[in-house]
């Protein structure tokens, strides 16, 4: 059966998350329904990452199999037609090898977290960024973020409901940049824990407000205890930005490997 890779953009505000659930419409279900309308058969869609309720995507990746081959552009256009008026766009469809897997073939993922640092209410960015009215020191946030780069036990920065077998992960890159009233956090890693980016954003928010110093972030990481870190930032600021395939980019070390100091 021919396999196809989809690159997907969506506004997560109207969905219960990526994964199909019983309590509401998910992005996965909406696209699977569109595929069935296109080909007349039920199809399972496999995504690169399970975004939560309210989380957006600029470059989510998924794959599925069709009983018969079709032109990639035809698949893209047909799915977009059947997805209307849902806030989901298939940016691209392309044929891939049978051994391609949207989740397991990925070598790096990138997330963007947007903070709008102003007191006035949001209009155009409402539901698409975390608004913080207190002035934030983005330089202090950038300095503190570097303590989280490398191979660490990220127990302090994952949800207590996280189902990952190990909290040991490699963070390849974190940057904090500011342009006017918008602060952007860019994080790149082979994989992420549940709520990891949002907890990092909430913790760095404390640094920006002056409640914490960069040293406090290092101490929170070393504590390996969720209660030692900051709050979980709201989902509307988070975007799955990109998923990389091919050559490994600083892949995960085996459990029990030496941690970066």
In contact, 93 and 71? CB cutoff 8 Å = no
User: Of these residues, 11, 33, 52, 98, which one is catalytic?
Assistant: 52
Kindly give, in sequence order, each residue whose CB lies less than 8 Å from that of residue 101, ignoring residues fewer than 6 positions away: 46, 63
In contact, 58 and 112? CB cutoff 8 Å = yes
Name the DSSP class of 124.
T
Q: Examine the residue annotation and report whether 139 is marked as an active-site residue of this protein.
A: no
Distances (CA, A) of 69 to 40, 65, 72, 73, 80: 14, 9, 9, 12, 18
- Helix, strand, coil shares of the chain as percentages rounded to 5? 30, 30, 45
Burial classification of residue 208, based on how many CB atoms lie within 10 Å of its CB (0-12 exposed, 13-18 middle, 19 or more buried):
buried
Kindly give, in sequence order, each residue whose CB lies less than 8 Å from that of residue 153, ignoring residues fewer than 6 positions away: 167, 168, 221, 224, 259
Active site amino acids:
52
């Amino acid at each position: 059966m021919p396999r196809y890779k989809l690159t997907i953009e969506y506004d997560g505000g109207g969905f219960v998350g990526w994964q199909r659930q019983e309590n509401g419409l998910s992005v996965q279900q909406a696209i699977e329904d569109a595929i069935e309308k296109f080909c007349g058969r039920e199809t399972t869609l496999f995504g690169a990452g399970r975004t939560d309720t309210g989380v957006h995507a600029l470059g989510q990746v998924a794959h599925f199999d069709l009983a018969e081959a079709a032109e990639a552009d035809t698949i893209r256009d047909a799915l977009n037609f059947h997805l209307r008026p849902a806030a989901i766009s298939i940016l691209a469809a392309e044929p891939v090898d049978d051994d391609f897997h949207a989740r397991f073939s990925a070598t790096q993922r990138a997330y963007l977290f947007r903070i709008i640092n102003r007191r006035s209410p949001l209009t155009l960015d409402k539901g698409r960024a975390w608004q913080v009215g207190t002035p934030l020191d983005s330089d202090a946030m950038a300095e503190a973020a570097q303590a989280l780069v490398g191979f660490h036990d990220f127990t302090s920065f994952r949800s207590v409901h996280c189902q990952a077998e190990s909290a040991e992960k490699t963070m390849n890159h974190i940057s904090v940049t500011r342009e006017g009233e918008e602060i952007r956090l860019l994080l790149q890693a082979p994989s992420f824990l549940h709520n990891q980016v949002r907890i990092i954003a909430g913790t760095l928010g404390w640094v920006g407000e002056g409640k914490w110093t960069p040293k406090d972030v290092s101490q929170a990481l070393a504590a390996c205890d969720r209660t030692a870190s900051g709050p979980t930032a709201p989902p509307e600021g988070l975007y799955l930005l990109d998923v990389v395939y091919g050559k490994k980019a600083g892949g995960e070390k085996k459990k029990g490997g030496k941690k970066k100091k």
